[in-house]
Amino acid sequence: MKVLVINGSPRKDRGHTGAALGHLVKGMEKGGAEVRTIYTRDLNIGDCRGCFNCWTNTPGKCIQDDDMAGVMGLLADADLLILGTPVYVDGMTGSMKTLLDRFIPLLHGRFVLRDDHCRHPLREGVKAGKVALVSVSGFTEIDNFDPLITHVKALSRNMNREYVGAVVRPVAWMMPNMEGKADFSDISEAIVEAGLQLVKDGRMKPETLQTISREIVPRDMVLSIMGEYYGDK
């Protein structure tokens, strides 16, 4: 299995998104997957111009000469696409969205009906694989991931890929602060196991995902810590 991990965090591997992705990759490689990781922060990718030349004058090829040219082949050949992003204003980071907007040369411009819905068909040689999400949030409530998950599910359908679940970690910033005070090994081990499940079973078990997103501190404590840190700044 070929896996493409897109790390959309501006902090790359130094942040909580990168840490979660590292555990997931460990599990996927344990399952025998061939994993490639790219970082949106390192890429020079312009916004999609909405010119649709990739559907008309230069079919399958964007007229912009930037780093997206090297990403296209990786996207087309991935059996499993992992989107890693912190929650930014109820969604993904801007650099992640920009990259995904530029996916359209891998599609034909014409419409087809798929599941009784107008879609663009994939170009020849583009795999109809799977998509999984990895995300972290500073808030405590799990429903803060809902808008992002809904978006990823929608784009998976448009990419003709199967959405196979989300690894989400609320109040992720608390975990390093609690080192020595609490044991989070079950969470990291569950993320590794989720990666293994993706490769072996094609999806992640609900109980594994529940362990990953479990409460680590009461919400009242989080409110108190945030109030003390930021005050009236």
DSSP 66-128: STHHHHHHHHHH-SEEEEEEE-BTTB--HHHHHHHHTTGGGB-SS-EESSSSEEPPBPTT---
- Say what the pLDDT of residue 15 is: 93
Nearest residue to 125 (alpha-carbon basis) of 62, 72, 56, 63: 72
Q: What is the pLDDT of residues 86-125, one digit of tens each?
A: 999 999 999 999 999 999 999 999 999 999 999 999 999 9
- Say what the pLDDT of residue 176 is: 82
Mean pLDDT, the chain, whole residue set: 96
Residue 91 one-letter amino acid: G
Distance CA 139, CA 120 (A): 36
- Say what the pLDDT of residue 175 is: 85
Each domain of the chain, given as residue ranges in start order, spans: 2-230
- Say what the pLDDT of residue 68 is: 98
- Say what the pLDDT of residue 88 is: 98
Tell me the whole-structure pTM to 2 decimals.
0.96
Q: Which segments of the chain have a pLDDT < 70?
A: 179, 181
Distance CA 147, CA 145 (A): 6
Superfamily of domain 2-230: Flavodoxin domain (3.40.50.360)
Distance CA 189, CA 167 (A): 13
At 26, phi and psi to the nearest 5?
-55, -45
C-beta of residue 133 within 8 angstroms of C-beta of residue 150 = no
Report in angstroms the alpha-carbon separations of 164 from 37, 73, 130, 194, 201: 19, 22, 7, 11, 10
Location of structure tokens 């411009």: 109
